[in-house]
Amino acid sequence: MNILIAGGGSAGHINPALSIAKKIKNNHPGYKILFIGSEKGLEKDLVPREGFDIEFIEIEGFKRPFGLRSIKTLFVLIKGLFQAGKIIKRFKPDIAIGTGGFVSGPAIYISSLYKAKILIHEQNAYPGITNRMLARRADVAMVSFESALKSLSKAKKTVLTGNLIDESFSDFDKYQPADGMKTVVIIGGSQGAMTINNAVTGMINEYMKETDFKLIFAPGKRHYEEVTGKITKTLKNVTVHDYIYDRNTVYASADLMVTRGGATTISEVLAMGMPSIIIPSPFVPDNAQEKNAEQIYEANACEIIYDNSEFNSKVLYDKIMNLLGDKEKLIALSENAYSLGIRDANQRVYEEFSEVVNEINRSGK
């Protein structure tokens, strides 16, 4: 059985793809798995790191408003379709799985033309344009939020599975705030977020003391050198990483997470039952991150700081210090987050995959 997997750009699309790939590999070591990605995305690093083969196509997203740049993007898309076609014609996938991101569009569309069974997975509360367009070609559309089901209703089957996360996030003891100095983990998403990075560097330089809390900060690979160059105060309780690979271990050490509103990070935080402050990106199409965060906030399972003109270092510092000083609030956020977490999403997705495999086997293909 040949399995093609496409999803890329940010870790929010790649990590779910890797999770299902690992699940398939563990249960079917004889299946051939091939990723399609973009050399501009994090998949170039993350996929080979996990031992999977990957081939690349050229792709870029359309920018709004549409203009001359959109014409160039259209030609890149056409080129990407031809590149995907060559790969798929050679690999002959029986099943193609898309986890979102622009790169999954050509790969999954062309796979459907070659009669592969199509599964797509949507991480966000409101589906991205790629999955909305692919839904009509999908045998199964899987979602992380119930609110996304309607938008993908053109698929033959839609099902709530939860978000694909590494299974290591699903087996942790009940959260308890540390008795001594607490730990705060701040990540701005796999690509980094300059407004968060600027707020954190200002917080370190202007407000933090070594007695406040232990800070683990990941500004993203693209911004690491710039951010570390802006930090003028040396504090023993501050550690800066370009990217956090051992996320489950680092997150487990936290008393409070500060994150963007990306669906995968939120799903990991909920699965672990971690108290969090979510700072949704205002630059994501369809305000997807705000919609993700607001669903969690309405269940009293996180705090939100909006990334607007009022967001600054002092706002962030004060919010963190207030929460760290309120043990009951931390515990309440943790318990509500844990109740929302779907810890068997990988198994649910694998069961949908297995049903499609059984269908192929019954058809004798």
Looking at the predicted structure, is the pLDDT value of residue 280 above 70?
Answer: yes
pLDDT band at 175 (very low <50, low <70, confident <90, very high): confident
Contact 184, 213 (CB under 8 A): yes
Looking at the predicted structure, is the pLDDT value of residue 39 above 80?
Answer: yes
% pLDDT > 90, the chain: 71
Mean pLDDT, range 320-333, rounded to an integer: 97
Mean pLDDT, range 223-236, rounded to an integer: 93
Mean pLDDT, range 299-306, rounded to an integer: 96
pLDDT band at 40 (very low <50, low <70, confident <90, very high): confident
Residue 98's closest CA among 198, 207, 3?
3
As given in the structure block, the two tokens for residue 79 are: 């080129």
Looking at the predicted structure, is the pLDDT value of residue 64 above 60?
Answer: no
pLDDT band at 208 (very low <50, low <70, confident <90, very high): very high
pLDDT score of 165: 84
pLDDT band at 58 (very low <50, low <70, confident <90, very high): confident
As given in the structure block, the two tokens for residue 184 are: 């705060």
Determine whether 180 is exposed, middle or buried from the number of CB atoms within 10 Å of its CB (0-12, 13-18, 19+).
exposed
As given in the structure block, the two tokens for residue 150 are: 């309607």
Instruction: List, as one string, the DSSP characters of 236-288.
Output: TTEEE-S--SSHHHHHHT-SEEEE---HHHHHHHHHHT--EEE---TTSGGGH
CA separation, residue 99 to residues 37, 73, 170, 349 (Å): 11, 21, 20, 12
pLDDT score of 243: 85
pLDDT band at 92 (very low <50, low <70, confident <90, very high): very high
Structural domains of the chain sorted by starting position, each given as residue range(s) with its CATH number in brackets: 2-163+344-363 (3.40.50.2000), 169-340 (3.40.50.2000)
Interval 103-138: pLDDT, tens: 899 999 999 999 999 999 999 988 988 899 999 999
What's the rounded Cα separation, in Å, for the pair 237 and 214? 5
First vs last C-alpha separation in the chain: 10
Looking at the predicted structure, is the pLDDT value of residue 315 above 60?
Answer: yes
Looking at the predicted structure, is the pLDDT value of residue 190 above 80?
Answer: no
CA separation, residue 169 to residues 30, 38, 288 (Å): 27, 27, 23
Lowest mean per-residue pLDDT among 62-71, 115-124, 206-215:
62-71
As given in the structure block, the two tokens for residue 273 are: 């039952």
pLDDT score of 80: 83
Mean pLDDT, range 276-294, rounded to an integer: 90
**Alpha helices (runs of H) in the chain, residue ranges in sequence order:** 11-27, 43-49, 68-91, 104-113, 129-134, 194-206, 224-230, 247-252, 263-272, 288-298, 313-324, 327-340, 345-363
